[in-house]
Amino acid sequence: MNIGFMKYHPLTQFIFFLSVLLVTMLIMHPVFLAISLAAGSAYILYSGGVRAFLKNLVMMVFISLTIIIINSLVSHGGITIITYLPDGNALTLESVIFGIAAALLMSGILSWFYSLNRILTSDRIIYLFGRFSPKLALLISMTLNFISRFRIQLSSVRAAQYAVGRDMKNGKPIVRIKNGIRIFSAMIQWSLENSVDTADSMKSRGYGLKKRTCFTLFRITLRDIITIGTVIVSDSYIIFAYMTGGLDYSYYPYFEISSVNIFTLSVYAVFALSCLLPLIIDISEDRKWKYIQSKI
């Protein structure tokens, strides 16, 4: 349903997602990682429903466990030794904590990219980047839409192969591998053909020509200005806290974060408020809509 944050200007949406992703990736503070993941997951649950939340949760748990295990086995830095592995290397508490932080980082990014892919549709991406770099806009749009379309096409191909007895669940292991290679080959061919068709279609419509005009209904409103201003102010406060040492942390050689005080708590609260902006906007719009319906 096109309500709440989805109705905002594409520039507002782009600035918000860019801000959250950059702060999450560049600062990598453990508290910030937890806040980012919690806010991103809460927004998926509210806007996408329980099914979308559980689907992303399974993927995030699998990726997180993989990252934690691999980092604990590969990285041996840190001074707090838990035990020794069979190869003689030490399993340290710091490597486990860093693995958890990396897992939180990856899970948070995936959760925000799910919402980004749902909100920043093709027409919005082309609107944002089409005037400056039409090729880049088309590339970003195709990339963001590729995953969902790939899943749908893969389901169709697997259903067709299953109907003729050539699915990866049928036959001996060698036969299953051959069937999987056949499905993979079909998907690669579909991807290439789809890319060429899209490029030819956009070229025939005159996309990217300098004198080509376009029509759009997107307009910057007061609520967009307020939202962008809120994001800029919160980012400025976070950068100030980071530059002055209020967000100091270290994972190696030992795990340590800055002491909790009024200032650090205020920074955490500001970042949490910034991450929760879409959820707050959607809840406010839903309540307003239900109130109007009750008056009819």
Residue 252 is predicted with a pLDDT of 86
- SS3 state at 2: coil
Give yes or no for a contact between 17 and 109, defined as CB atoms under 8 angstroms apart.
no
Q: How many CB atoms lie within 10 A of CB 59?
A: 14
Tokens of 192: 């290439």
Residue 16 is predicted with a pLDDT of 95
Residue 296 is predicted with a pLDDT of 72
Residue 276 is predicted with a pLDDT of 94
The amino acid at residue 10 is: P
Residue 139 is predicted with a pLDDT of 67
CA distance 101 to 237: 23
- Mark the ranges of the chain whose per-residue pLDDT is less than 70: 1-3, 130-148, 170-171, 202, 205-216
Q: In terms of Cα–Cα distance, which of 116, 136, 137, 90 is closest to 16? A: 116
Residue 256 is predicted with a pLDDT of 86
Tokens of 90: 């030490």
Strand pairing report for 249-250 and 90-92: unpaired
Residue 163 is predicted with a pLDDT of 77
Report CA torsion sign: 138, 106, 111, 241: negative
CA distance 77 to 241: 28
Residue 229 is predicted with a pLDDT of 94
Residue 210 is predicted with a pLDDT of 64
CA distance 66 to 99: 9
Q: CA distances (Å), 291 to each of 49, 282, 285, 294, in order? A: 22, 14, 10, 5
Residue 135 is predicted with a pLDDT of 66
Residue 1 is predicted with a pLDDT of 47
Residue extents of the structural domains in the chain:
4-130+211-294, 139-207
